Structure 1
């Protein structure tokens, strides 16, 4: 769990500390919950911007998280 994240990785969230959310998509304020699937869109020094639920039939939304406050499993790693 909690492998090194890379831009483009698909992750399944397993735990989110309530204080880990730094910014949410103002168009959709649904909070992330364990089991959500997301693509790592951007990585910063201590934060990751995730595009959550990026599948047909789901409403996409973005959230910026502090990486230390997330627990996740990489389900599809970006191949370089």
Structure 2
């Protein structure tokens, strides 16, 4: 996963990591994101390696650490890639 910054319309930027392929990207963050922030259709922009792309939020859910494993609670956001920003 690569470091990335996600900015949804009218919200503060969220830092996390992303894995992308085809038309979709999975954005994972340890930031305190509420389900209310991700309800409804949201458009935004994701920056990966200095490149910006327009995205639409497709889904979001919290994940919990696995018992017995050293993992953090995270929040996973599924994004549909629209196009590079500014094109």
Larger strand proportion of the pair: 2
> Which is bigger in relative contact order (C-alpha 8 A, separation at least 6)?
1
Q: Same fold (TM over 0.5)?
A: no
Give the TM-score, by structure 1 length: 0.31
Over alpha carbons, which structure has the higher Rg?
A: 2
